[in-house]
Amino acid sequence: MKSSAITGNFTEANVDALAIAVFKDEKAGSGALKELDKLTGGLIASVLKAEEFKGDSGEIAFLRFAGKGKNKAERLLLIGAGDKNEFKTADEAIISGTATRFLRKRNIKSFALYARAEGDAKEVAQCAAQGFVASQFELDKYKSADKNEKSVDNLVLCIEGADQADVEEGLRRGEIVGESMNFARELANEPPNILHPTEMANRAQKMAKETGLKCEILDEAQMEKLGMGSLLSVSIGSDQPAKLIVLRYEPKKSTGSKNELLALVGKGITFDTGGISLKPGEGMEAMKYDMSGGATVLGTMRAIGLLKPSIPVLGIVAAVENMPDGKATRPSDVVTAMNGKTVEILNTDAEGRLILADAVAYAEKQGATRIVDMATLTGAVIIALGDVNTGIMGNDQELVDDIIECGKRAGEDFWQLPLGKEYSKGIKSDIADIKNIGPSRKAGTIIGAAFIQEFVDKAKWAHLDIAGTAWSDSAKPHQAKGPTAVAVRTLLKLVEKSQ
């Protein structure tokens, strides 16, 4: 897959199809649409007039034309973009992805896209290339027949009035972001017999080598020495040993304050049976996605290694399998976490918080001053926010606000839920410092976050509950169904902003 910038007339690009977004109720009489309309002998005006196509978001018109100019392409794709006033730079990724998937199905190998977003050219180009690459991800790795063999190989992007070098740079960055999202999605999509904690660590190690990150894998003996009794209590029921994946990005020349360190910490439960508090069978297969937070950390770190921002970033994934077994943790067991707190485990299915407890404390021990953890932590967040918003909570409003704002620019939605003493009372244990569940069914997502908060000392911290947004049950015009690599783009924006 390759993307390039065009400086001349976009209709003359050496491609199979031309694509352009059309806003709701837009007329063919001005700007790029006018030129295209002329080229196609009034085709755009005619479909708009006939109300065959109105520019509503999600609408598509695919037209053939003979061409009345120096055009090579004889196909035109109009993509509905909805209300012009609501169209953001990040939406260019959706337009580009929608065009790519539509044209791919029709055997088209190359197209030129005329960008309509009005933001910074580099950023627009980045979004277009990211959408182009990410939209071509498919779930069919293990199919031996009926695999998608088609691909759109070339995107030519036109941004009117932009500097060619800026567009090219944006495209290169967008390719990296899209490929890193697909890297995360590939991990999340892997079946749990293949992607167990050791394999997840191996893939992280290989990726680190390729992208110039430092990588250290802590085994169970090392974690034991560090006192990670909370994390290990989840792993103890599995034949697969847990791994703590530690990735480090250090810039050649660092900007910002010397002692600042951002850490990204991911829940990497490669399969969640619930343990002794066994989950019902129906739908349990989705728990292969319970390592999506870890996948997002690895995808984001991959992009960081290649994009080389000017601040250091620490990436940590607690890779663990949660299984029932003769050795497994029992509801009512008490364990001691790395920070010395004792935890009464009353439900072994609330395991994500148990592994994050030690992973977050470890991040801070490594010098992290800002920690963002991400986890498919609670079913409750799906009830609250569906698959639209990621739940966000934290101990530092500025960090939470920064992430929400970066999400807006990246095209990802976050919704904040509260924390506080009254909620934290809910995890007081009768016999230990805290227990791993709260009062039945009340504020499940907040309780999960309140638990993790107990393991943050001085760092600024935000928690992302991605249980509703980590994978999608249905395909979208710009995106295959399955893992979404949620938060990769937002976290990259956060890193960019922190430089």
Among residues 229, 237, 352, 394, which is the contact residue for Zn ion, using CB under 5 A? 352
Which segment (217-225, 240-248, 347-355, 485-493) binds Zn ion by CB under 5 A?
A: 347-355
Q: Which of 279, 341, 476, 497 is catalytic?
A: 279
Footprint of Mn ion (CB under 5 A): 272, 349, 351
Give the chain's radius of gyration (CA, Å).
24
186 binds, among Mn ion, Zn ion, ligand BES, none (CB under 5 to 8 A by kind): none
Q: State how far the Cα of 232 lies from the Cα of 451, in Å rounded to an integer.
A: 17
CA distance 351 to 234: 6
- CB 296 → ligand BES: shortest distance, Å? 14
Q: At what angle do helices 164-189 and 197-211 cross, to 10 degrees?
A: 160
Residue 495 corresponds to which tokens in the numbers above?
Answer: 């890193």
Output b/e per residue, 241-259; b: 16+ Cβ within 10 A.
bbbbbbbbbeeeeeeeeee
What does the alpha-carbon distance between residue 396 and residue 370 come to, in Å, rounded to a whole number?
9
- DSSP letters for 211-250: HT-EEEEE-HHHHHHHT-HHHHHHHTT-SSPPEEEEEEE-
Contact call for residue 290 and Zn ion (CB under 5 A):
yes
Tokens of 159: 């941004």
Least separation in angstroms between CB 391 and Zn ion: 15
> Which CB, 211 or 484, lies closer to Zn ion?
484
Of the candidate spans 94-102, 185-193, 243-251, 261-269, the one that interacts with Zn ion by CB under 5 A turns out to be 261-269
Does position 237 interact with Zn ion (CB under 5 A)? The reply is no
For residues 320 and 410, which CB has a smaller minimum distance to ligand BES in the complex? 320
CA–CA separation, 331 and 284 (whole Å):
20
Distance separating alpha carbons of residues 86 and 274, to the nearest angstrom: 42
What whole-number distance in Å separates Cα of residue 124 and Cα of residue 162? 10
Specify the residue, 178 or 468, whose C-beta has the smaller distance to Mn ion: 468
Exposure letters 124-163 (e unless 16+ CB within 10 A, then b): bbbbbbbbbbbbbbbeeeeeeeeeeeeebebbbbbbeebe
Q: Does the annotation mark 172 as catalytic?
A: no
- Least Cα distance to 288 among 312, 269, 313 occurs for 269
Q: Considering the rule CB under 5 A, would residue 179 count as an interface residue with Zn ion? A: no
Partner whose binding site includes residue 393, from ligand BES, Mn ion, Zn ion, none (CB under 5 to 8 Å by kind): none
Instruction: State the residues that interact with ligand BES by CB under 6 A.
Output: 272, 290, 347, 349-352, 376-380, 437, 444, 467
In the bound complex, what is the minimum distance in angstroms from residue 6's beta carbon to ligand BES? 43
CA distances from 124 to 158, 159, 227 (A): 10, 8, 47
Residue 53 beta carbon to ligand BES: minimum distance, rounded to whole angstroms: 38
Which is closer to Zn ion, CB of 294 or CB of 315?
A: 294
If you ran DSSP here, which 8-state letter would residue 174 be given?
Answer: H
Which of ligand BES, Zn ion, Mn ion, none has residue 190 at its interface (CB below 5 to 8 Å by kind)? none
State the Cα–Cα distance between residues 111 and 109, nearest whole angstrom.
7
Candidate list 353, 370, 409, 493, residue with the active-site label = 353
Q: How far is the CB of 236 from ligand BES (least distance, A)?
A: 16
Q: Report the residue closest to Mn ion, judged by CB.
A: 349
Q: Are 321 and 307 in contact (CB under 8 A)?
A: no
Told to judge if 150 belongs to the known catalytic residues of this protein, a careful annotator would answer no
Pick between residue 6 and residue 291 the one whose CB is nearest to ligand BES: 291
Query: Residue 128's closest CA among 115, 119, 137?
Result: 115
| Contact window for Zn ion (CB under 5 A) among 13-21, 146-154, 302-310, 346-354 | 346-354
Closer of 100 and 376 to ligand BES (Cβ): 376
If phi > 0 it is left, if psi is from -120 to 50 it is alpha, else beta; for residue 439 that is: beta
CB of 144 to ligand BES, least distance (A): 29
Please report the DSSP string for 179-200 in residue order: HHHHHHHHHHHS-TTTS-HHHH
Exactly one of 179, 199, 272, 465 binds Zn ion (CB under 5 A); that residue is 272
Closer residue to Mn ion, CB minimum distance, 92 or 349: 349
- Closer residue to ligand BES (CB): 107 or 440: 440
Question: Which amino acid is located at 26 in the chain?
Answer: E
**Closest separation between CB of residue 292 and Zn ion, Å?**
10
Minimal distance, residue 321 CB to Mn ion, in Å: 12
Residues labelled as active-site residues: 279, 353
Where does this chain bind Zn ion (CB under 5 A)? 269, 272, 290, 352
